[in-house]
Amino acid sequence: MRIEGFELRRVGMPLVSPFRTSFGTETERDILLVRAVTDTADGWGECVAGADPLYSSEYVDGSADVMRRFLIPALERVGTAAEVGEALKPFKGHRMAKGALEMAVLDAELRAAGRSLASELGSTRDTVPCGVSVGIMDSVPELLDAVGRYLAEGYVRIKLKIEPGWDVDVVRAVREAFGDDILLQVDANTAYTVADADHLARLDEFGLLLIEQPLDEEDVLGHADLAKVVRTPICLDESITSADAAVAAIRLAATSVINIKPGRVGGYLEARRVHDVAVAAGVPVWCGGMVESGIGRAANIALASLPGFTLPGDVSASARFYETDITEPFVMRDGHLDVPAGPGIGVAPIPDILDELTTSREWISV
């Protein structure tokens, strides 16, 4: 395969409701899509960097810049998706940008070969269970209302975003309203310090599946210390930037569950390696979400169908975030989504909708 170049497309996708986390509130997603044009087929990738560097150091203008100036030119002699990671290795960081380019090349390669991403990654299921991530709200009644609606829609697992001042009482209210049987977990997005260990241990009485990333991204040892105080399993997200980072965190007993987000680790091929090292260590994984459009959502569903993904992921229907998706929408049935079976990621943008939501486009030859 010869890569001719990439189209960078920015799309502005309004969210159905504001999504608040401990690091900010989003009302619209500014998504960078990349289309790889090759001599055999085109392929799509989605960069999950946010508009601002608040979840991680990456941000979407920075991703576009590094792709344009460094990453895309380095792909001149690359002929397969498996070579992309190696070709981009000299450039430090920027995993979300690298992951998007690799995804587009992988999609093109698989489309040309008529193979699905799911089968390429090692999928063992046709459907995946859907979890939903519920943002911080202005009041507890408002939150209970939202949780009630998601449960009625069929979501099989609820994740509550937490931060200091919106944690123990909120979890208690959800347990009191919906009982002990619902699968429930919390996500702090690094909002606490190890000095909060005793406070976080108060969550133990609620039978949570896990506490996700309570401490700073770089505080892996802090998580190991915290895990000795808190009985609820600690799950790392932001800290797990590669399969090597996963191995280290597991060995340090800083994490007993792992959230795998392909963008955060530099792509779907590294995401599979994280899956593999976790499975080898007996550590369950689940697929995270970054409020993706149908492009990234399709690929996440494929990844979530690998055998080590034994917990429901942040894999929700398109309608959870978007009234109009840029692909055919993903619709949940009985709390599950079908794994796309077509070539590559199995979906493509609908041209008219894509054009309508596009805010800028740019062509870059390799």
Looking at the annotation, which residues are catalytic?
Answer: 161, 261
Q: Assess 296 for contact with ligand NPG (CB under 6 A).
A: no
* Distance in Å, CB of 241 to ligand NPG, minimum: 14
3-state helix, strand, coil in the chain (%, to 5): 40, 25, 35
Q: Assess 55 for contact with ligand NPG (CB under 6 A).
A: yes
Helices and strands, counts by H and E, the chain: 13, 13
- Residue-by-residue DSSP string for 2-55: -EEEEEEEEEEEEEEEEEEETTEEEEEEEEEEEEEEESS-EEEEEE--BSSTTS
In the numeric block, the tokens 């009644």 are attached to 141
Q: Assess 85 for contact with ligand NPG (CB under 6 A).
A: no
**Are 218 and 240 contacting, i.e. CB atoms less than 8 angstroms apart?**
no
CB nearer to ligand NPG: pick between 26 and 42? 26
Q: Assess 318 for contact with ligand NPG (CB under 6 A).
A: no
Taking the alpha carbons of 156, 154, 302, 89 in that order, is the dihedral positive or negative? negative
Specify the pairing of strand 257-260 against strand 234-236. Answer: parallel
CB nearer to ligand NPG: pick between 107 and 237? 237
CB nearer to ligand NPG: pick between 38 and 316? 316
CB nearer to ligand NPG: pick between 110 and 170? 170
> Which among 152, 175, 166, 245 has a CA at the least distance from the CA of 199?
166
CA distance 288 to 115: 24
* Distance in Å, CB of 42 to ligand NPG, minimum: 25
Number of amino acids touching ligand NPG (CB under 6 A): 13
Q: Assess 327 for contact with ligand NPG (CB under 6 A).
A: no
* Distance in Å, CB of 187 to ligand NPG, minimum: 6
Taking the alpha carbons of 321, 327, 329, 330 in that order, is the dihedral positive or negative? negative
Of 30-38, 79-87, 169-177, 289-297, which segment contacts ligand NPG by CB under 6 A?
A: 289-297
CB nearer to ligand NPG: pick between 105 and 290? 290
Phi (first) and psi of residue 209, to 5 degrees: -65, -35
Q: Assess 291 for contact with ligand NPG (CB under 6 A).
A: yes
Kindly give, in sequence order, each residue whose CB lies less than 8 Å from that of residue 188, ignoring residues fewer than 6 positions away: 22, 161, 162, 163, 167, 211, 212, 213, 214
Packed helices 168-178 and 140-153: angle between N→C axes, nearest 10 degrees: 50
* Distance in Å, CB of 191 to ligand NPG, minimum: 11
* Distance in Å, CB of 132 to ligand NPG, minimum: 7
Q: Assess 133 for contact with ligand NPG (CB under 6 A).
A: yes
Q: Assess 288 for contact with ligand NPG (CB under 6 A).
A: yes
**Are 212 and 186 contacting, i.e. CB atoms less than 8 angstroms apart?**
yes
* Distance in Å, CB of 345 to ligand NPG, minimum: 16
* Distance in Å, CB of 363 to ligand NPG, minimum: 27
Q: Assess 59 for contact with ligand NPG (CB under 6 A).
A: no
| Size of the chain in residues | 366
What is the contact mask toward ligand NPG in residues 220 to 259, using x (rule: CB under 6 A)? -----------------x----------------------
Site residues for ligand NPG, window 176-215 (CB under 6 A)? 187, 189
Pick from 42, 46, 120, 314 the residue near ligand NPG by CB under 6 A: 314
**Are 191 and 211 contacting, i.e. CB atoms less than 8 angstroms apart?**
no
Binding residues for ligand NPG (CB under 6 A): 21, 50, 55, 133, 187, 189, 237, 288-291, 314, 316
